[in-house]
C-alpha cells in the first residue's frame, strides 16, 4: 500500500457543488440508451474449458505415480490391474473437476452481489449505482478509498491517485480540473467530480478492477497433510527396500516383486487427497456463499479455524450504521436552527458520508435551504487524520469559515470554552451517541456554535454475536475512531467489555500487557495495522475487520482480513473474506465452516496414517514372516479404490465445529494414529493367523479373506476416528453412509461370487464384519482417553 495513504498531511482540496456546474447529469432514459450503444462497463469473463481443467488434474506428483503404475502393469501384461488404476486416475480427475466447477459457479453468483459501486448524478439526484451501469457522459463523484470505475475527466475538485496498477509507479499522482483519471486506479486522497469518457474495453486499463481472486492456493492444512504423507512414503520406501532385499535373499521372482513393491508404495500415497481437498473446499465455498461470505483467498478458510483474536470496527459492523440526528445543543447566541444550518454548510451530499446524509436529512425536515452550498467557495472533506471537515463562504466580502468534526479537535479552535463543554460531550457520549462539534468564524476567530449528537444504536444481533464468538474461544477487541466514552458505552452494552484505552497507547512502549484492553478508541487507521502486528508478535492468529482504504494494510497483514459489506473497493480488494450483508453474523458461519473443514481433514489424516501403518506393515511383515504374499497386486489396487476413494465422503461429514481455535499439532496427530493403528494391526495378524492356521484356507482364498478384512477395517476406522469422543455421539452424513454401505456390499459380493478373486463363503464375510465391528467398539473405549490426553479435538 502506498505510504501516502497513511500520511497526516492534508493537501488543499476544492469541491464545488456539481449539481450547479453540471446540471442534472444524464437522465435515466438517456443512460439506458447509451448503455445499449456502448455496452456494460465490464469485460466478458473468459472461462477455462472444463476439458482443460480435467487434463490438468492428471498432471502432478500423485497422478504421475499412478500413471507409472499403469505403464508398468501394461508392460507386465496385467491389463485388468492397469485398467483399474486408469479408472482411479479418471475418477479423481473427474470428481475434482466437477467440484471445482460447482465452487466456481457458486462464487460467480456471489460476485454478482459484490459489485463496485459509483456515485452517479442521474436525473438531478446523487445515487449509488453498480459501476457496470456507467456510460460515457455520466457525472461521477470520487472520494478517498474508491477505485476509479471508468476513464473520466475531472471537472472540479482535486484528488491524489495511486496509478501503480497502470504504471508500476508507487508515487501518487495529483489530478485537478481537466485531468484524466483511469479505471482501476485508486483515490488515496481528496474528492472530485468527473465526467466519464470511456467505459469497458475502451478504457485505458482495458478491464474492470479485479476485486476477487478465486485461484486456489495451497493452504497450511493441505501442506501439513502432504508433509505427513511424505514421511509415510519415506517409511514405505524403507520397508520396500527391506522387502526387496528379502526377495533377493530368498530367491523370489522379481517379476512378481516389482508390481508388489510399486503397489506397496502407492498404498502410502494419499491418492484421494486432491479430490478430498477439492470437495471439502468446494462444499465450504458453497456453504459460505449461502451465508453471504465471499472468499477471495481460499486458504483463509483454513486460517479462520485458527483465529484467536478478532479486531473489529464499531460503526456499521457492531452498530446499525443508520445514523440520525438525535440531539442538537446550541451555544448562545446560536439557536438549534442556526447549528443545523451551519452543519449543512460544512456537509456535502455528493460524498455519501453517513454523517453528512443524517445532517442533510435533519435539515430537510427542519426546513433549512439545502441550496445554500451553491455559493460555497471551497470545501475540505473529512479525513481521519484531521477529524474534521471545513467549508469556506464569501459573506459580505469576508471569508466565513465553518468546521464540523470531533469535539476534542474543534474545541482547540475556541479558547472561550470551559469545563461545561467537556461535560456536555461526555454526557452525550455516555449514552452511546456520536458527537460532532459545529464552529464558525474567520481564520483568526472561531467560535463553537453547538453540538450535534447522532444515534447509531447497536445492531440487534451484536450482543448475541459477541457471545457466540467468545464461546468459540475468540477474543473480540473493538477499535474505533469514536471518543473513549462512546466506545466504552457501546462495548459494554454488547458484551465486549469496558476495559478501554486510547489508540495512541499503541504507539507508546508499554510495561504491562495491552491484551487487557477490550476497546481502543480514537484510533487512526494506521494504528490498526500496528495492533495486528502486536498480536501476531505474540504468536496469535489475528482476524481484522475494516471498511476504509486506510484499513487495507491491516486487512492484508491479518491472517483473516474481513471486509464488511459497506467497505470501500480497496478494502475489499485487500481482504481475504468479504461479507455481503451488514454486520458480522456471517463471519461466525465462516469460522464454523472453517472448523468443520478442519475436523473433516483431521479425520482424513488420522485415517490415512492408521491405514498406511496397518497395510504396509501387514503386507511387508506378512511376506517376511509367513513367506507368502498376503494379498495380490490386483487386490491391492482394488483396496485403494474401495478404501481411499470412498474416504472422499469424509468431506461431506456432518461434524461439529471445533469448540476452540484449531492448531495443527502433528506430533499429537501421529501419536494418536499410531496408538490406534497398532491394535488394528494386531487384529489383522490375528485374523490372518486364524484363517491360515485354524481354518487352513488355501492361499488364494486366504488372500480374498484378508482383502475383505482390510476393506472392512478401513471403513470401520473412518467411523472410529471421525469423533474424537465416542463414535455414537453424532451421526455421519448420508453420503458417508451410502459410500460405506455400497463398499461393504460390493466387496462382499465380489468376494462371495469370486469376481476378480477366489471365492469365499458368505459366512466368513459376515464373521469378519462382525469381529471388526466388535473390536472397533472396544477400541473406541481406549481411543477416547488417548485422544483427550493428546488434545485431539
SS3 sequence of 353-374: CHHHHHHHHHHHHCCCCHHHHH
If phi over 0 gives left and psi between -120 and 50 gives alpha, with beta otherwise, what is residue 336?
Answer: alpha
> Active-site residue numbers?
313
Q: Confidence band (pLDDT; 50, 70, 90) for 303? A: confident
Q: Confidence band (pLDDT; 50, 70, 90) for 688? A: very high
The residue range of the domain holding 308 is 287-319+458-583
CA distance 84 to 357: 68
| Residue 790 in grid coordinates | 493428546
Residues 577 and 495 in one domain: yes
pLDDT score of 6 more than 60 = no
Q: Confidence band (pLDDT; 50, 70, 90) for 649? A: confident
Residues 171 and 23 in one domain: yes
With vertex at residue 108, the alpha carbon angle to CA 104 and CA 113, rounded to the nearest 5 degrees, is 150
Phi then psi for residue 750, to 5 deg, are -60, -40
Residues 622 and 740 in one domain: yes
Residues 32 and 171 in one domain: yes
Residues 759 and 776 in one domain: yes
Residue 544 covered by a domain: yes
Residues 610 and 751 in one domain: yes
Residue 32 covered by a domain: yes
**pLDDT digit string (tens) for 98-119?**
656 655 554 554 455 556 788 8
CATH number at residue 198: 2.70.150.10
| Residue 460 in grid coordinates | 440487534
Q: Confidence band (pLDDT; 50, 70, 90) for 275? A: low
**pLDDT digit string (tens) for 348-360?**
877 667 788 889 9
More confident residue, 90 or 702: 702
Residue 184 covered by a domain: yes
Q: How many DSSP H helices and E strands does the chain contain?
A: 25, 21
The total number of structural domains that make up the chain = 4
Residues 8 and 120 in one domain: yes
Residue 77 covered by a domain: no
CATH number at residue 309: 3.40.50.1000
Q: Confidence band (pLDDT; 50, 70, 90) for 65? A: low
Residue 473 covered by a domain: yes
Per-residue pLDDT at 218 = 45
Residue 250 covered by a domain: no
What is the percent of the chain where pLDDT is above 90? 24
Per-residue pLDDT at 153 = 92
Residues 550 and 524 in one domain: yes
Residues 562 and 507 in one domain: yes
Q: Domain end: 520, 550, 583, which one?
A: 583
- CA proximity to 596, closest of 719, 475, 733, 713: 733
pLDDT score of 742 more than 70 = yes
- CA proximity to 714, closest of 751, 692, 684: 684
Q: Domain end: 583, 614, 639, which one?
A: 583
Torsion over CA of 470, 474, 479 and 482, rounded to 10 degrees?
A: -10
Residue 658 covered by a domain: yes
CA distance 303 to 307: 7
Distance of CA 393 to the CA centre of its chain: 47
Residues 577 and 606 in one domain: no
Residues 315 and 331 in one domain: no
**pLDDT digit string (tens) for 509-520?**
554 445 578 898
Residues 646 and 661 in one domain: yes
Q: Domain end: 554, 583, 612, which one?
A: 583
Residue 248 covered by a domain: no
CATH number at residue 664: 1.20.1110.10
Amino acid at each position: 500500500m502506498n505510504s501516502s495513504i497513511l500520511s497526516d498531511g492534508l493537501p488543499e482540496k476544492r469541491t464545488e457543488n456539481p449539481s450547479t456546474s453540471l446540471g442534472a447529469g444524464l437522465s435515466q432514459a438517456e443512460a439506458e440508451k447509451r448503455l445499449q450503444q456502448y455496452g456494460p462497463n465490464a469485460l466478458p469473463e473468459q472461462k477455462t474449458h472444463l476439458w482443460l481443467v480435467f487434463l490438468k488434474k492428471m498432471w502432478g506428483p500423485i497422478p504421475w505415480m499412478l500413471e507409472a503404475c499403469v505403464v508398468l502393469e501394461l508392460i507386465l501384461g496385467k491389463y485388468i490391474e492397469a485398467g483399474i488404476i486408469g479408472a482411479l486416475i479418471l475418477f479423481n480427475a473427474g470428481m475434482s473437476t466437477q467440484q471445482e466447477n460447482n465452487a466456481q459457479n457458486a462464487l460467480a453468483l456471489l460476485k454478482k452481489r459484490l459489485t463496485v459501486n459509483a456515485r452517479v448524478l442521474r436525473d438531478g439526484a446523487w445515487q449509488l449505482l453498480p459501476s457496470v451501469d456507467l456510460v460515457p457522459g455520466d457525472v461521477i463523484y470520487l472520494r478517498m478509498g474508491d477505485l476509479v470505475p471508468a476513464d473520466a475527466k475531472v471537472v472540479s475538485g482535486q484528488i491524489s491517485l495511486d496509478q501503480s496498477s497502470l504504471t508500476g509507479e508507487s508515487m501518487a499522482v495529483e489530478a485537478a480540473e481537466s485531468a484524466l483519471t483511469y479505471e482501476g486506479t485508486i483515490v488515496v486522497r481528496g474528492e472530485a467530480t468527473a465526467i466519464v469518457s470511456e467505459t469497458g474495453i475502451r478504457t485505458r486499463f482495458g478491464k474492470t478492477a479485479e476485486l476477487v481472486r478465486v485461484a486456489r492456493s495451497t493452504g497450511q492444512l493441505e501442506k501439513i497433510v502432504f508433509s505427513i504423507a511424505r514421511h509415510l512414503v519415506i517409511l514405505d520406501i524403507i520397508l520396500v527396500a527391506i522387502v526387496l532385499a528379502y526377495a533377493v535373499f530368498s530367491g523370489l521372482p522379481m517379476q512378481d516383486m516389482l508390481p508388489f513393491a510399486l503397489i506397496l508404495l502407492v498404498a502410502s500415497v494419499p491418492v484421494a487427497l486432491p479430490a478430498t481437498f477439492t470437495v471439502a473446499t468446494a462444499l465450504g465455498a458453497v456453504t459460505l456463499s449461502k451465508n453471504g461470505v465471499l472468499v477471495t483467498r481460499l486458504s483463509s478458510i483454513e486460517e479462520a479455524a485458527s483465529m484467536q483474536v478478532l479486531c473489529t470496527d464499531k460503526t456499521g459492523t457492531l452498530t446499525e450504521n443508520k445514523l440520525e440526528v438525535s440531539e442538537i445543543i446550541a451555544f448562545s447566541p446560536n439557536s438549534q436552527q442556526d447549528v443545523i444550518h451551519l452543519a449543512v454548510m460544512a456537509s456535502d451530499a455528493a460524498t455519501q458520508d453517513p454523517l453528512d446524509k443524517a445532517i442533510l436529512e435533519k435539515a430537510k425536515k427542519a426546513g433549512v435551504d439545502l441550496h445554500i452550498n451553491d455559493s460555497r467557495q471551497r470545501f475540505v472533506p473529512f479525513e481521519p487524520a484531521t477529524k474534521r471537515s471545513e467549508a469556506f463562504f464569501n459573506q459580505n466580502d469576508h471569508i466565513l469559515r465553518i468546521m464540523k468534526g470531533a469535539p476534542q479537535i474543534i474545541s482547540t479552535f475556541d479558547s472561550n470554552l470551559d469545563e461545561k463543554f467537556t461535560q456536555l460531550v461526555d454526557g452525550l457520549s455516555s449514552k452511546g451517541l456520536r458527537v460532532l462539534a459545529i464552529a464558525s468564524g474567520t481564520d483568526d476567530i472561531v467560535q463553537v456554535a453547538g453540538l450535534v449528537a447522532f444515534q447509531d444504536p447497536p445492531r440487534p444481533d451484536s450482543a448475541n454475536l459477541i457471545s457466540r464468538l467468545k464461546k468459540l474461544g475468540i477474543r473480540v477487541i473493538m477499535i474505533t475512531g469514536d471518543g473513549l466514552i462512546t466506545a466504552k458505552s457501546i462495548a459494554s452494552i454488547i458484551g465486549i467489555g469496558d476495559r478501554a484505552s486510547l489508540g495512541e497507547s499503541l504507539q507508546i512502549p508499554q510495561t504491562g500487557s495491552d491484551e487487557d484492553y477490550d476497546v481502543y478508541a480514537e484510533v487512526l487507521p494506521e494504528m490498526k495495522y500496528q495492533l495486528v502486528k502486536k498480536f501476531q508478535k505474540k504468536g496469535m492468529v489475528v482476524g481484522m475487520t475494516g471498511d476504509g482504504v486506510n484499513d487495507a494494510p491491516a486487512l492484508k497483514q491479518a491472517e483473516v482480513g474481513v471486509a464488511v459489506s459497506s467497505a470501500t473497493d480497496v478494502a475489499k480488494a485487500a481482504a481475504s473474506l468479504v461479507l455481503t450483508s451488514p454486520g458480522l453474523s456471517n463471519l461466525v458461519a465462516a469460522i464454523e465452516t472453517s472448523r468443520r473443514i478442519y475436523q473433516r481433514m483431521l479425520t482424513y489424516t488420522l485415517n490415512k496414517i492408521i491405514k498406511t501403518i496397518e497395510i504396509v506393515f501387514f503386507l511387508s511383515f506378512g511376506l517376511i514372516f509367513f513367506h507368502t504374499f498376503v494379498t495380490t497386486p490386483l487386490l491391492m489396487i482394488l483396496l485403494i479404490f474401495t478404501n481411499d476413494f470412498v474416504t472422499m465422503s469424509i468431506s461431506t461429514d456432518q461434524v461439529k465445529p471445533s469448540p476452540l481455535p484449531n492448531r495443527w499439532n502433528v506430533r499429537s496427530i501421529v501419536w494418536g494414529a499410531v496408538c490406534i493403528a497398532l491394535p488394528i494391526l494386531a487384529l489383522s495378524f490375528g485374523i490372518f493367523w486364524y484363517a491360515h492356521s485354524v481354518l487352513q484356507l488355501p492361499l488364494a482364498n486366504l488372500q480374498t479373506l484378508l482383502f475383505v478384512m482390510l476393506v472392512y477395517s478401513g471403513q470401520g476406522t473412518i467411523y472410529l476416528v471421525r469423533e474424537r469422543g465416542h463414535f455414537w455421539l453424532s451421526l455421519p452424513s448420508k453420503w458417508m453412509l451410502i459410500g460405506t454401505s455400497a463398499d461393504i456390499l460390493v466387496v462382499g459380493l465380489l468376494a462371495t461370487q469370486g469376481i476378480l478373486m477366489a471365492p469365499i463363503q458368505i459366512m466368513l464375510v459376515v464373521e469378519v464384519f462382525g469381529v471388526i465391528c466388535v473390536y472397533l467398539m472396544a477400541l473406541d473405549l481406549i481411543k477416547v482417553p488417548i485422544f483427550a490426553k493428546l488434545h485431539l479435538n
